[in-house]
Structure 1
Amino acid sequence: MFFCPYGKIFPMEKMAWNLESEYPSYNSPEFLSEFDLVKSKVDQLEKDVKSLKTPFDNDVEKIQKIWIDVEATQVLVGNMSTFLNCHLSVDSTLSEAQAKKSEVMALSSRMWQILIPVDNFMKRCSEETLNKILSHPELTPAKFDWSQERTQKPFMLSDDEETLLQALSMPGLHAWGELYSNLSGTMRCEMKFKDRTETVGLAKASALIRSQDEETRHVAWTSIQEAWTTHKETASAILNALSGWRHEVIKKRSQVKPAHYLDQSLFYSRITKETLDAMLTACYENVDMSRRANLAMAKLMGKKALDPWDLLAQSPISASKAERSYEEGLKMIKDAFGQASPEMAQFVDMMAEKHWIEARVLPNKRNGAYCTGFRKKREPRVFMTYMGSNSDISTLAHELGHAYHSWVMRDMPIAECGYPMTLAETASIFSETLLHDVLLTNAKTREEKIEFAWGEMDRATAFLLNIPARYDFEKSFYEMREKRTVSADELSKLTDDAWSKWYGSTLSENDKMYWATKLHFSMSGISFYNYPYTFGYLFSISVYARREELGKDFMQTYINILRDTGRMTAEDLVQKHLGEDIRRPEFWRKSIAVINRKIEEFEKLALG
């Protein structure tokens, strides 16, 4: 049993995920046999690539075989990586799992180094040759992916340079991201209450910031600040190394056409800079209205401005002060999803019954929440730390939205399932919106209405103030890092400036250490892991707003949108299904207008 600090007792066995359905363990014969199989497949790929004769145009059938084998190998590599990451997320001190993960990553890196000549050929060859290769039924689903990849032709390096870059990225770029994960996973926070001191892991301290009790929030937030301040030089070294690496790569790739530090992020988000600018323009035009949500929340707390430890707090006014059990939280989500479709409600039951959700509070558990999946069986998994707050329930709905997205695509070719973060966040935030809308609609008393409307305001300020502030910080940092190394104190100053721009005077103080405490800035896979959340939030509101108009056809339209997310750009997807142009601020203003009406309603409740 897990004893929640607020008195609830949560059943640990029901909150643990089942990973053994994939492999008994990472030392099991099943796992080791699959690892050996991947090694043999990579060896064979190396022989097949070396057997190609230049020009490759005359070896279409061999190239087809290579890419078919690559997809099969990727499935196995992805499966093993997911299994290891899941174990390390639950306990970051598992040294054997860390060692095995490094072996799998090295194997994956070797495979991509081997494939670079063929990969570059696919980007450079004629349309006629490309079409011949992709005419194979097993490769046809990859047409959209290759059309996107070929837009990167001006930024390509030689085969030897690309191979070297790939080889160095594991001990270089990605090692810095691993350092952050290891540091945060083993970090201890000293929570200094008036009558006692408790030492807890970072995940638990982060979860306690969502407490209804202000002292607990303040103590938890302060303990995290102190822990990261102790390690601020390491944290700044990580950020500088990641950005420095990316800047050097950009310089190398700018020989034919100038590359920009935002290019990779926009490419992987499948949006244009015009779309990003239109969205952020609409957000900043509305900044005064978004700030009013913060001020209304502060008023309900009896404050003139929110403190930084209040940004994730639950409503100070609610129908029930008790934290909700794990089962209660799942039922709330199931009932809300059922308002959209019986299938969505059944999906929640399935995730719980199959134990595909990890929600325990554990000492060495990774901070945060995410959805992942096993490629072989096309099964999702959800990871979080559940302590019974409304925010926890909202987070669980968010991650289950991601899981549902992958679930409705499980029958599709894998090549058509690689959706970008911008569109991934649409499904997750749609699910949150559905939860909050149902809860608010069913609320009867003022206390209930405030409790559930608070969640709406929490999301509005997160996506319309916090996320844009993250983007502005990262943009300023990348511009400064292009010239020189940026110190920890300078990173705090850049954070302070970005928060002041967006939050204004609605906070008592800015969270100047946010650059260190927020995992997303230190992820090695991609930079600017922020604005897609705002994109998903506003796009999901646009989709959700069509529920009444479409009636019984809405759910099928929604599923059709989800199933198209991996085979077209965001601009094309919205044009196809909604008939709108997201490159224009007008599209985003319509969604923001919906939020503004909710802010005005919340202000009335706050004045009560």
Structure 2
Amino acid sequence: MRLSPFIQEGRFMLHIPFPQFSAENTHSDEKALGSLPEWDLTHLYPTPDSAEFRQDFDNAAAKARAFSERWKGTLEAAAAKTGDDGLGAAVEEYEAIGEILGRLGSYAGLAYFANASEPALRKLFGDTSARITEIYADLLFFELELNRLSEDTINSSLQTDSRLAHYRSWIIDLRKEKPHQLDDKTEQLFMEKSMTGAQAFNRLFDQTMDGLRFEVDGKDLPLEQTLNLLSDTKETKRKSAAEALAKTFKANLPTFSLIMNTLAKDTEINSRWHGFEDIADSRHLSNRVERDVVDALTEAVTDAYPRLSHRYYKMKAKWLGMDQMNYWDRNAPLPETAERTIPWTEAKDTVLSAYGAFSPEMADIARRFFDENWIDAPIRPGKRTGAFAHPTVPSAHPYVLVNYLGKPRDVMTLAHELGHGVHQVLAGKQGGLMCSTPLTLAETASVFGEMLTFRALLAETEDKAARKAMLAQKVEDMINTVVRQIAFYQFERKVHTARREGELTEDQICEMWMSVQAESLGPAIKLADGYETYWTYVPHFIHSPFYVYAYAFGDCLVNSLYAVYQNAESGFQDKYFDMLKAGGTKHHTELLKPFGLDASDPAFWSKGLSMIEGLIDELETLDNEE
């Protein structure tokens, strides 16, 4: 059984995309960057100890108790009524309570991820999470009892109760959970035990990772800055960073192995009790995507390894003057890559200009993130690595977190997260229960926004060396998004499958990691000693098992979608905005139909992958002209 929409991943638990290597140099001149914005969480609450924060908690608790007293055990009778006594009224009340809990959880989560090293914020996050779970105990019955109603009863109520009919898509999605739900007491036990189980190990991972330091050339650096050095222009610096990462990861391998073993077992227990056949079926269900569609994607990407990653890294090794690159050279900038720091204002103008060329409305929405302090950009101790966009609740607005260092990939990351933000603003009109887009399609707007920005910059670039550097960087980002994420998914499948036979040793997990990495990266990259530990820092394995294929899904989808846009005479923007506004109210087949696309068709994935191959072809042509 899924968690409530207002405490599940992406709503209460923040969506944390895989940290991209967003800079070639961690020593950007702060003056060159300009003034970097910090988000204003007072839009949600003045302070953690404010009267508004306390009152909302008390209000939510009282409303939840009253909701339970009024509706528990009465839904069968309510289905025969309309108005304030009908099921529609109950769903409205349920959604309204969720709005309050979502705001509380968002505030605590955002404050924590902005500075997880602060003990008071860790306590706020833990206490808020615990109290929301306690309050939700009074609401847990609702979806379970609603799903026990017969199909005839539900269909009849949808026809007679206009207020319930508004939630038709949510009801349809909820009914898909019916075969996997347990009795109320058992579901409540699973929910409450998650606080001392999965949630506790998630926090252990976060706090352990936040506290790690990596010694590079005599300096102790946090994870974000050390990862960024893997894109440094100097090979010696990249090697030093890679070895520092490996040394610290290895020292903490017992802890990370325990976390992985525990959460893999936790996932297996949940799946077994809830009647899921495949280890990833619960993720597929929450994503509203069929297993065979994900299998087709995985097979298409795996078959394309030689044409994509293997081929590209062989070319890159030649450009770097190497027969074989070490793993720390994978994200090295090309020799012709110009080194400069991009000021924040330039990054802002670049993204807004690209968005505006596609749609002025899209740029207007994105501009609000800058003008109204919805973005947190500086790097600081304790801040979450990587980047994310968090929707909060429909009555508020999304927030974006980036770690901006003024490099080209940082501009692409900003474009990516603002795509999420625009999507979340548009989908918010669907309300709390129906605004959340399944993860597979949640990456569509972000990758599309990134593509718009890249294409706009590429069109302005006439110098062959600069164009080659831009194309190479884009290909690497796409390989990281498609090839690397499918390899991550295959690694997870190996780990979770083997965990069913017993606890895994550190060496076993590391061997599984190395096997999928060797297959996906190809012979042009040498996976030297130390790299076997690099699985430890990927947060998705901990926070969102099997999430990672959503990136490949989104990238391939956008590649196909962008091809439609390039060939469309008119009307594309309207269709695109309709897709974003739909939120979670439509299945991917419905959303893609207006564009003539079908993700269930195996040829769909080949079409998306061919765009990456085309960019590699262009790089090869440029290389031959030199």
Check whether TM > 0.5: yes
Whole-angstrom CA distance in 2 between matches of 1:33 and 1:11 = 40
State the one-letter code of the partner of 1:298.
Answer: A
Task: Kindly indicate whether residue 225 of structure 2 is the aligned counterpart of residue 232 of structure 1.
Answer: no
Task: Kindly indicate whether residue 536 of structure 2 is the aligned counterpart of residue 516 of structure 1.
Answer: yes
Aligned pair in 2 of structure 1 residues 54, 278: CA closer, same or farther (>3 Å)? closer
Contact 1:314 1:390 in 2 (8 A): no
Whole-angstrom CA distance in 2 between matches of 1:222 and 1:584 = 43
Q: Counterpart of 1:417 in 2: which secondary structure?
A: coil
State the one-letter code of the partner of 2:219.
Answer: E
Equivalent of 1:75 in 99, 106, 109: 99
Aligned pair in 2 of structure 1 residues 51, 265: CA closer, same or farther (>3 Å)? closer
1:585 Cα shift?
1.5
Q: Counterpart of 2:429 in 1: which secondary structure?
A: coil
Bigger mean CA offset, 102-111 vs 583-592: 102-111
Residue of structure 2 in register with 1:244 after alignment = 265
Aligned pair in 2 of structure 1 residues 62, 189: CA closer, same or farther (>3 Å)? farther
1:64 Cα shift?
4.3
Aligned pair in 2 of structure 1 residues 79, 312: CA closer, same or farther (>3 Å)? farther
Contact 1:297 1:606 in 2 (8 A): no
Residue of structure 2 in register with 1:118 after alignment = 142
1:272-300 CA deviation, whole Å, 9 max, x = no partner? Answer: 11111211222122221102122222322
Superposition pairs of residues 455-604 of structure 1, within 5 angstroms:
455-509=473-527, 511-523=531-543, 526-574=544-592, 576-604=593-621
Q: Counterpart of 2:406 in 1: which secondary structure?
A: coil
Residue of structure 1 in register with 2:365 after alignment = 347
Contact 1:312 1:391 in 2 (8 A): no
1:58 Cα shift?
6.5
State the one-letter code of the partner of 1:522.
Answer: I
Task: Kindly indicate whether residue 352 of structure 2 is the aligned counterpart of residue 331 of structure 1.
Answer: no
Whole-angstrom CA distance in 2 between matches of 1:53 and 1:445 = 67
1:302 Cα shift?
2.4
Contact 1:333 1:397 in 2 (8 A): yes
Contact 1:324 1:388 in 2 (8 A): yes
Unaligned runs of at least 5 residues, structure 2? 1-24
Equivalent of 1:14 in 14, 27, 36: 36
Percent pairwise identity: 24
Superposition pairs of residues 431-450 of structure 1, within 5 angstroms:
431-450=449-468
State the one-letter code of the partner of 1:85.
Answer: G
Q: Counterpart of 1:246 in 2: which secondary structure?
A: helix
Residue of structure 1 in register with 2:56 after alignment = 34
Whole-angstrom CA distance in 2 between matches of 1:89 and 1:185 = 10
Residue of structure 1 in register with 2:383 after alignment = 365
Residue of structure 1 in register with 2:214 after alignment = 189
Aligned pair in 2 of structure 1 residues 420, 394: CA closer, same or farther (>3 Å)? same
Residue of structure 2 in register with 1:174 after alignment = 199
Whole-angstrom CA distance in 1 between matches of 2:34 and 2:180 = 50
1:215-256 CA deviation, whole Å, 9 max, x = no partner? Answer: 3333333322222222111111111111101112222223xx
Contact 2:108 2:128 in 1 (8 A): no
Whole-angstrom CA distance in 2 between matches of 1:217 and 1:325 = 24
1:343-368 CA deviation, whole Å, 9 max, x = no partner? Answer: 23333432112121111110111112
Q: Counterpart of 2:177 in 1: which secondary structure?
A: helix
Contact 1:210 1:389 in 2 (8 A): no
Aligned pair in 2 of structure 1 residues 306, 37: CA closer, same or farther (>3 Å)? farther
State the one-letter code of the partner of 2:620.
Answer: E
Aligned pair in 2 of structure 1 residues 285, 467: CA closer, same or farther (>3 Å)? same
1:508-527 CA deviation, whole Å, 9 max, x = no partner? Answer: 2163223211111111xx32
1:103 Cα shift?
2.8
Q: Which has the higher contact order (CA 8 A, sep 6+)?
A: 2
Equivalent of 2:65 in 23, 29, 43: 43
1:144 Cα shift?
1.6
Whole-angstrom CA distance in 2 between matches of 1:54 and 1:417 = 27
State the one-letter code of the partner of 1:495.
Answer: W
Task: Kindly indicate whether residue 417 of structure 2 is the aligned counterpart of residue 396 of structure 1.
Answer: no
Whole-angstrom CA distance in 2 between matches of 1:243 and 1:138 = 41
Task: Kindly indicate whether residue 395 of structure 2 is the aligned counterpart of residue 384 of structure 1.
Answer: no
Aligned pair in 2 of structure 1 residues 29, 252: CA closer, same or farther (>3 Å)? same
State the one-letter code of the partner of 1:175.
Answer: A
Aligned pair in 2 of structure 1 residues 74, 547: CA closer, same or farther (>3 Å)? same
1:37 Cα shift?
1.7
Q: Counterpart of 2:516 in 1: which secondary structure?
A: helix
1:551 Cα shift?
3.0
Contact 1:210 1:313 in 2 (8 A): yes
State the one-letter code of the partner of 2:472.
Answer: W
Whole-angstrom CA distance in 1 between matches of 2:289 and 2:353 = 34
Contact 1:188 1:201 in 2 (8 A): yes
1:312 Cα shift?
3.6
1:595 Cα shift?
1.8
Residue of structure 1 in register with 2:437 after alignment = 419
Aligned pair in 2 of structure 1 residues 19, 207: CA closer, same or farther (>3 Å)? farther
Residue of structure 2 in register with 1:277 after alignment = 295
Whole-angstrom CA distance in 1 between matches of 2:403 and 2:75 = 53
Aligned pair in 2 of structure 1 residues 421, 313: CA closer, same or farther (>3 Å)? farther
State the one-letter code of the partner of 2:409.
Answer: S
Contact 1:188 1:200 in 2 (8 A): yes
Q: Counterpart of 1:374 in 2: which secondary structure?
A: coil
Whole-angstrom CA distance in 1 between matches of 2:511 and 2:584 = 39
Residue of structure 1 in register with 2:17 after alignment = none
TM-score by length of 1: 0.92
Unaligned runs of at least 5 residues, structure 1? none
Number of corresponding residues: 595
State the one-letter code of the partner of 1:143.
Answer: R
Q: Counterpart of 2:389 in 1: which secondary structure?
A: strand
Residue of structure 2 in register with 1:212 after alignment = 233
